Amino acid sequence: MTDSYETVQFERTDDGLGWIELDRPDALNTITTELLDELDAVIDRCESAESVRAIYLTGAGDRAFSAGADVQSSGVMGHRKGVEHSRRGQTVFGRLKATDLPVVAGIDGYCLGGGMELSMCADLRIASDRSEFGLPEHSLGLLPGWGGTQRLQQLLGESVAKQFVFTADRFSAERMYEFGYLYDLIEAESFEEDARSFAAEIAAGPPIAQRYSKRAMRAATPSPDAGLELEAQAFGHLLDTEDLAAGISAFVTDSDPEFEGK
């Protein structure tokens, strides 16, 4: 059974998957407020359906899992709305960490900014060999505002997380596999079939054991709540800076930004 929304597609499959697909391929599946709302709604659908035993999260098309947020619209929010926007993304993404269902992210293409922050909340990540990862927010005068400052260091450690945040570099799928971020690399030509097959294998696992295993591992993780709130406040503050305006202008004109610390 397939259900259509404006920015996501949702399907309950015969092999136990709640298949969520970010569906803005012409915009590289960038994440809007509407998409956050619809993602929130389909997570509800997954959790309420007895037939769903695992969530499979992917992006439409063959260019991107998600290239992040709509940078230009974020830049005109101002402090108060920016803090609220940050908290909203943190909360919706965090639901994937909080759900008892195993979550598999299938990544083909760009996985940048908010898209990478979304992928951090999956339990297992697999990617095509052509995928690219990165947190480019510093190149705009921003910071990762949907959980990236907290969740990436939980996954990869403080040193590696700082490489992503401070350099704003992009990393290949092979490098991400070496970091331990990815469970597996798949050739692009067979990605759709192989990724779906892997997610179905997870869905076929013992649901009660999976549920309690995820709860137990989640309980061992120090609460990131204070860090997430600091991240949200910092994100809102940065939306009022001249540096952000310079960063967005440079992004639009494909030039190098000149940040003056204002």
Predicted confidence (pLDDT) per residue in 111-133, tens digit:
999 999 999 999 999 999 999 99
Give CA–CA dist 215/212, Å, rounded.
Answer: 5
Give pLDDT, residue 136.
95
Give pLDDT, residue 72.
60
Q: Specify the CATH architecture of the domain 2-189.
A: Alpha-Beta Complex (3.90)
DSSP 3-state of 16: coil
Give pLDDT, residue 75.
53
Give pLDDT, residue 237.
73
Give pLDDT, residue 253.
83
Out of 21, 38, 132, 137, the active site residue is 137
Asked about 11 being catalytic, the answer comes back as: no
What is the residue extent of each domain of the chain?
A: 2-189
Give pLDDT, residue 236.
78
Asked about 187 being catalytic, the answer comes back as: no
Low-confidence stretches of the chain (pLDDT beneath 50): none
Contacts of 22 (CB under 8 A, 6+ apart): 7, 8, 29, 31, 35, 39, 57, 58, 59, 60, 65, 66
Residue 9 zone, left/alpha/beta (φ > 0; ψ -120 to 50; rest): beta
Out of 117, 158, 201, 260, the active site residue is 117
